[in-house]
């Protein structure tokens, strides 16, 4: 067991902003996000993972969060969250376990196509500061809509970056399922906000969790606390960084609100000054 990994959790548009701000602030404090051997992003965390590498990609992403909001961000304001929750709950009613629940959500994702997949890809591409994979090793978690199983998707000739990020972000009933090769994928947040249990074999893992350690495990998924316990039992050291109390409450209350991005980004950047020493000591 060797190496260091960074896990970027899901947290809606506010989560993108907080993680981008935190990483920019950590870099300013001397903790290089490029120093990890592997970076894994789930859903909104995949957007942040795609922004790593290069001189300005991460700061460009941060600056975008502090701006007026992109078309994709503004479209999230149209989501009727209670109605979406009702439809998803109805779709998974009676499922015996998490895998079956995700298969049923996958059926909904393939059946309900709120907009063409190519249009969704274009919206996600507009969120990213670059259209090429980072030189740093990164992966994005997506869930297969037919099997209900997760997969970490990495750089490959037939996997454009924006397509893979879109697959990780494709909330069933909100965005279309994304075909990649002969499989179709949806948002990995249907399984776990962080999918930490998939990141094995590393000596140290830092987790940025916009929703926090105590967030409920939805859809019979894998909770962060359970994954942490298992990795630590296997000899891996795990450090979780979550928003401070006020920022965390604000993020969780405004996951899909693009107007919450700027304050979340600035809060993450400010918090980095408080946690940089802890992260640096942990990484050795």
pLDDT at 216: 78
pTM, whole model, 2 decimals?
0.94
pLDDT at 149: 97
Per-residue pLDDT reduced to its tens digit, 76-100: 656 777 788 888 888 889 999 999 9
* Mean pLDDT estimate for the chain: 91
pLDDT at 76: 62
Task: Determine whether 43 is an active site residue.
Answer: yes
- Using CA atoms of 230, 234, 239, 240 in order, give the dihedral in degrees to the nearest 10: -20
Write down all domains in the chain, each with its CATH number in brackets: 4-25+35-283 (3.40.1090)
Measure the CA–CA gap between 219 and 14, rounded to whole angstroms. 22
- 43, 44, 192, 223: which is the annotated catalytic residue? 43
pLDDT at 231: 97
Under 8 Å between Cβ of 245 and 212: no
The stretches in the chain having pLDDT less than 70 are 1, 69-78, 250, 253-256, 258
Name 246's Cβ contacts closer than 8 Å, sequence gap at least 6: none
Task: Determine whether 187 is an active site residue.
Answer: yes
pLDDT at 32: 94
Per-residue pLDDT reduced to its tens digit, 254-272: 666 767 788 899 999 999 9
SS3 category, 74: helix
Under 8 Å between Cβ of 218 and 207: no
Measure the CA–CA gap between 142 and 177, rounded to whole angstroms. 10
- 144, 187, 197, 257: which is the annotated catalytic residue? 187
């Amino acid at each position: 067991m060797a190496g260091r990994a960074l896990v970027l959790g899901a947290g809606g548009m506010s989560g993108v902003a907080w993680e981008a701000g935190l990483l920019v602030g950590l870099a300013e404090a001397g903790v290089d996000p490029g120093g990890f051997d592997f970076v894994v992003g789930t859903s909104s965390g995949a957007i942040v993972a795609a922004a790593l590498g290069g001189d300005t990609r991460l700061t460009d992403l941060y600056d975008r969060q502090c701006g007026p909001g992109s078309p994709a961000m503004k479209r999230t304001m149209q989501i009727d969250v209670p109605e979406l929750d009702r439809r998803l709950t109805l779709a998974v009613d009676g499922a015996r376990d998490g895998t079956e629940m995700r298969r049923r959500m996958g059926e909904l994702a393939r059946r309900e196509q709120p907009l063409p997949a190519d249009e969704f890809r274009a919206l996600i591409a507009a969120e990213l500061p670059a259209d090429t994979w980072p030189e740093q090793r990164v992966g994005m978690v997506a869930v297969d809509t037919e099997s209900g199983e997760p997969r970490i998707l990495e750089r490959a000739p037939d996997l454009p970056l924006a397509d893979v990020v879109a697959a990780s972000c494709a909330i069933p009933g909100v965005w279309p399922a994304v075909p990649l090769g002969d499989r179709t994928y949806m948002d990995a947040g249907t399984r776990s906000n962080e999918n930490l249990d998939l990141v094995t074999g590393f000596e140290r893992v830092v987790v940025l969790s916009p929703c926090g350690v105590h967030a409920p495990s939805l859809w019979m998924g894998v909770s962060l606390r359970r994954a942490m316990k298992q990795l630590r039992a296997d000899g891996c050291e795990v450090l979780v960084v979550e928003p401070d109390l006020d920022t965390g409450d604000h993020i969780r209350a405004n996951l899909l609100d693009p107007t919450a991005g700027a304050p979340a980004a600035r809060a993450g950047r400010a918090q980095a000054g408080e946690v940089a020493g802890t992260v640096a000591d942990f990484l050795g």
